[in-house]
Structure 1
Amino acid sequence: MSARLIAYVQIQRSRAIHPDEIRSRLLAKGWPLQEVESALRLTEPDPAMATSHPPHWIFRLGFASIFLVNSLSALIDPNTFLKLMERSFLRLTPLPLEPMLWFIALNDLLTGALVLLGWKGRYVYIWAGMWMLAVTWVKLSTLI
């Protein structure tokens, strides 16, 4: 079994490609089935390490709490949220800010819950990261 094959399988797994898809791609490229199966077994993630590792849970809990608390504060104190939005570049949008407030509260509630649940982790983390960048830009624009 070659290191190139194992590296390919690891990369595909990191991209959340299903093992059946990896297998079919490699067989189409002419790799022997026995080597493909060995590479898939060798690179199989340890399910116990993926979600039970304490630092993983500490991160997920902390990251999710940012979204959940933000959602809660938008629902409990919408005026403070609206004032922040009015001081940011969002005031330049032609849309009313009140509906955006409810979208933010719902988005943060769902994002926080999905981070906690670990559902579709890769996609949720991508969305959460992009959302955090947007929030950063909104808050920075209030300083200008």
Structure 2
Amino acid sequence: MKKSSVLVATLAGIAMLFLSAPLYAGTNFEDVIKLNETSYKHTKGIIEFSHAKHVDEYKNGCGECHHNDKGEPLSDLKKGDDVKRCVECHSKPGEIKGKEAKGLSKEEKRQYHANALHDNCRNCHKAYNKKNNTKAAPTSCTKCHPKKKK
């Protein structure tokens, strides 16, 4: 009887390892992400976004960046949850500005991937600066985008 109990416990343990692996795998994510969407050519250097800096240092929740189709924060997200990539919803490649953007609503402009990211980042950085009476959070192109390597 003891041998069968040990066998059952061993098999149960092995089964738990296999069943829990996908759960563990889902909680891994890269701290630093290169915001290098490949559907269009970038005219400026690629930003490297740090989750640790924004979550741990600045105490931002996941919903500060990740939102639903109505623009409402996904405030119930936690580190490692699966999220859509920005380009899945903001699917028009690149950025629209100047004469091409004239007459378009904010929502229409945010259909463009770069416009959506710029709005999200700049608005958050401006709010941070205002709240903390600082200019520490960058709001201009050259402060976020590194010089493009030739």
More helix by share: 1
Task: Give TM-score scaled by structure 1 length.
Answer: 0.29
